[in-house]
Structure 1
């Protein structure tokens, strides 16, 4: 049985277990799959949930693009300069050890409600995994490649664009893969704490009013959206560049 058939077997298994457990509770306490499906149709018709999903995805894209861009640039500089790398090391250790959500209350106070603090949480969550992998990629560049490029006249930005960037891409993709997962979880949590829109806000709001069906619906959407982005974007990207890196090593 191939992996796709095995993967799809998980869906009916979860539905069966979920249905079996839900019959032991009132529907307003722990609704079953049918109740959540009806709530999903209802929310879809109202259009509110769609807006929350789009808001979360917009924040994720903006924050992640900004984070990856900064991590690439700073990582290349740190890899190329030993002094700059030594300067960054304690800062990276400090911020890497601090959970992204620890910054959420302060960011909400400083930036207010809305997109700004949520995007800032995403940047903090994803920046350091990408940065660390970029620096590691820089450290693994063969010195012979750099000398060859310089002998051909490559300097400053040309050296970075034609040598550093292609060499560090496989390692950076691994950092992006990890940083994305952390960012998605951190964004939803931040929206639950201080958001006024987004999937996290949708879950928190419906939890406060006791709408358990919508809470479970929101939780399911978090997982399904993550699976969608993982299978259609991250896995193909990671597989392509990871395989390329292995061929280069051989």
Structure 2
């Protein structure tokens, strides 16, 4: 049996457990799959859920793209120049040990409500995992590759584009995967704490008014979106560069 088939068998298993547990409680305390499905149709028809999901995805894309671009540029420079790398490591260690959500209240005070503090949380959450992996990838580049490129006239930005960037991509993809997962969780949590829109806000607001069906709907949407982005974006990237990584190791 294919791995994909075995994986998807978990869906009816979870639904079955959900039915059994929900049958032991009133629907207003723990709604079952049918109750949540009906709530999903209601929220879809009034346009509520689409609006919050699109806002969250917009914030995620903006913050994550900025973080990835900065991490790649700074990571390549840090890997290429040892003094810069040594200067960066205490800063990286400090921020890596500090949950991005710890900055959320301060960011909301400085930037106000809306997109800005949410995007800032995503940037902080995803920047450092990607940066660390890019620097590690730079440290793994063979000196013989660099010398060969320099002997052929590569220097400056050409060395970065044609030698450093291709060599670090397998390691950087791992950082992107970790950074994405942390960024997604941090965004939802930030929206729950200080957002006035987004899927995290949707869950928080409905929890306050006791609409447990919408709370569970929001949780399912978070997991479903993460699953889809993993299968449609991150896993194809990892598979695309898996062979490249093995060639680099050899």
Would you say the 8 A contact 2:190–2:200 is kept in 1? yes
How far 1:243 moved relative to its partner?
Answer: 2.5
The root-mean-square deviation of aligned C-alpha atoms, in Å, is 0.8
Separation in structure 2 between the aligned mates of residue 247 and residue 147 of structure 1, nearest angstrom: 19
Residue aligning to 2:94:
94
Separation in structure 1 between the aligned mates of residue 249 and residue 74 of structure 2, nearest angstrom: 25
Is 1:135 the equivalent of 2:153?
A: no
Give the secondary-structure state (helix, strand or coil) at the position aligned to 2:30: coil
How far 1:248 moved relative to its partner?
Answer: 2.9
How far 1:237 moved relative to its partner?
Answer: 0.3
Give the secondary-structure state (helix, strand or coil) at the position aligned to 2:72: helix
How far 1:51 moved relative to its partner?
Answer: 0.7
How far 1:61 moved relative to its partner?
Answer: 0.5
Separation in structure 1 between the aligned mates of residue 111 and residue 248 of structure 2, nearest angstrom: 45
How far 1:24 moved relative to its partner?
Answer: 1.2
Separation in structure 2 between the aligned mates of residue 43 and residue 96 of structure 1, nearest angstrom: 38
Residue aligning to 2:36:
36
Residue aligning to 1:48:
48
State the number of aligned residues.
250
TM (norm. structure 1) is 0.98
Give the secondary-structure state (helix, strand or coil) at the position aligned to 1:245: helix
Q: Please say which of residues 148-157 and 81-90 is displaced more in the overlay.
A: 148-157
Separation in structure 2 between the aligned mates of residue 20 and residue 145 of structure 1, nearest angstrom: 60
Would you say the 8 A contact 2:202–2:218 is kept in 1? yes
Q: For 1:205-244, what aligned pairs fall within 5 Å after superposition?
A: 205-244=205-244
Residue aligning to 1:193:
193
Q: CA deviation digits over 1:163-195, x for unaligned, max 9?
A: 111111111011001100000000000000000
Separation in structure 1 between the aligned mates of residue 204 and residue 248 of structure 2, nearest angstrom: 48
Q: For 1:105-144, what aligned pairs fall within 5 Å after superposition?
A: 105-144=105-144
How far 1:242 moved relative to its partner?
Answer: 2.4
Residue aligning to 1:22:
22
Separation in structure 2 between the aligned mates of residue 153 and residue 85 of structure 1, nearest angstrom: 25
Unaligned runs of at least 5 residues, structure 2: none
How far 1:100 moved relative to its partner?
Answer: 0.7
Unaligned runs of at least 5 residues, structure 1: none
Would you say the 8 A contact 2:136–2:171 is kept in 1? yes
Residue aligning to 1:62:
62
Would you say the 8 A contact 2:167–2:248 is kept in 1? no
Q: CA deviation digits over 1:23-74, x for unaligned, max 9?
A: 1111111000000000000000001110100000010100000000000000
Give the secondary-structure state (helix, strand or coil) at the position aligned to 2:9: helix
Separation in structure 2 between the aligned mates of residue 99 and residue 243 of structure 1, nearest angstrom: 34
Structure 1 stretches (4+) deviating beyond 6 angstroms? none
